[in-house]
C-alpha cells in the first residue's frame, strides 16, 4: 500500500470501529486491496482480485463492505450506460469526469477547468447553485476507431452515430424489403438505439424507424461527419 492508502485505511478503521462492526480485519483487507487498484472496478473484478491476493470472502460480505466504503466517502459507485456497477476511489477534494467507449468499455478520466467553470455558469444562468454533476462522454476510443472498416453493416453502428446508407447486400428481395421500411442508399440516418439484439431504432429527418436485426446486417453504411439534422 502507498502512504496515502495507509492513511485512508486507518481513517476507515476508525469509522468502522465506531460502527461497532465485527470482522474488522477482513473489512480492512478488502479496503486495502481496493485502495491499491486505480481502476473502475466491478464487484466481480474485486472478488477476483481478492482471490488473487489469497482472500476468499463471500460476495455478499464484499459487496456490503464496498457499499459501506461508498457511504463513508472512500469509494464512489458509478454506473455507466450499458455497463455493470463499478467502484472507484473517492479522493477528497478531487474531481474528474469520464469518457466511455461504447464498443470495448474502456473508461478514460479527464478533468478540465474550463468545462467545470462553464457548468457552474450554465447552472447560475438558470438561477441554480450547482452542488454536483456528472459528465459522461460516450464514444469510440482511438483503438476501436482504428480497427473499424470504413464500410460496416448497420447492425454494428452505435447509438448516437450518424451513418450514410451505402449499399444493400442480398439481392432484389432484400432491396425491396428495405424500400418497404423506407430506406434508400444515400440516406443519412442517426442510430437512436442499438442494444446489440432485437430491433434497431433509427432516425431519418424527423421520423423514427424500427428495423429488424436481420435486415440491418445486410445494410452497409459508412460513418458520416455530416449532421443528420441538416
Ligand atoms: Zn466535472
Ligand atoms: Zn474502445
Ligand atoms: Zn473515474
- Report for 31-45, 138-152, 177-191: range of highest mean pLDDT: 31-45
pLDDT at 186 over 50: yes
pLDDT at 82 over 50: yes
CA–CA gap between residue 46 and residue 30 (Å, rounded): 9
Ion ligand 1: residues, CB within 5 A, are 97, 135
pLDDT tens for residues 13-70?
A: 888 888 887 899 999 999 999 999 989 999 999 999 999 999 999 999 999 999 999 9
**Ligand nearest the Cα atom of residue 103:** 2
How far, in Å, from the CA of 128 to the mean position of ligand 3? 25
How far, in Å, from the CA of 136 to the mean position of ligand 1? 9
**Ligand nearest the Cα atom of residue 143:** 2
pLDDT tens for residues 161-174?
A: 999 998 887 777 76
How far, in Å, from the CA of 54 to the mean position of ligand 3? 27
Ion ligand 2: residues, CB within 5 A, are 101, 103-104, 106, 141, 144
Please, is 223 exposed, middle or buried when counting C-beta atoms within 10 Å of its C-beta (0-12, 13-18, 19+)?
Answer: middle
What pLDDT sits at residue 230? Answer: 39
**What is the model's pTM?**
0.76
How far, in Å, from the CA of 149 to the mean position of ligand 2? 14
Amino acid at each position: 500500500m502507498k502512504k496515502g492508502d495507509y492513511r485512508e485505511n486507518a481513517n476507515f478503521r476508525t469509522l468502522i470501529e465506531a460502527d461497532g462492526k465485527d470482522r474488522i480485519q477482513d473489512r480492512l483487507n478488502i479496503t486495502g486491496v481496493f485502495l491499491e487498484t486505480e481502476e473502475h472496478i466491478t464487484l466481480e473484478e474485486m472478488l477476483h482480485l481478492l482471490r488473487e491476493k489469497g482472500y476468499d470472502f463471500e460476495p455478499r460480505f464484499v459487496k456490503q463492505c464496498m457499499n459501506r466504503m461508498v457511504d463513508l466517502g472512500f469509494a464512489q459507485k458509478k454506473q455507466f450506460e450499458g455497463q455493470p456497477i463499478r467502484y472507484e476511489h473517492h479522493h477528497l477534494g478531487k474531481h474528474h469526469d469520464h469518457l466511455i467507449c461504447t464498443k470495448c468499455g474502456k473508461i478514460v478520466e479527464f478533468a478540465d477547468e474550463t468545462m467545470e467553470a462553464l457548468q457552474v455558469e450554465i447552472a447560475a444562468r438558470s438561477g441554480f447553485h450547482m452542488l454536483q454533476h456528472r459528465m459522461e462522454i460516450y464514444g469510440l476510443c482511438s483503438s476501436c476507431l482504428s480497427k473499424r472498416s470504413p464500410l460496416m453493416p448497420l447492425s454494428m453502428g452505435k447509438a448516437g452515430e450518424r451513418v450514410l446508407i451505402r449499399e444493400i447486400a442480398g439481392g432484389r428481395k432484400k432491396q425491396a424489403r428495405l424500400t418497404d421500411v423506407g430506406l434508400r442508399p444515400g440516406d443519412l440516418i442517426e442510430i437512436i438505439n442499438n442494444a446489440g439484439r432485437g430491433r434497431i431504432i433509427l432516425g431519418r429527418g424527423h421520423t423514427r424507424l424500427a428495423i429488424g436485426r436481420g435486415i440491418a446486417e445486410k445494410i452497409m453504411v459508412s460513418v458520416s461527419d455530416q449532421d443528420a439534422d441538416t
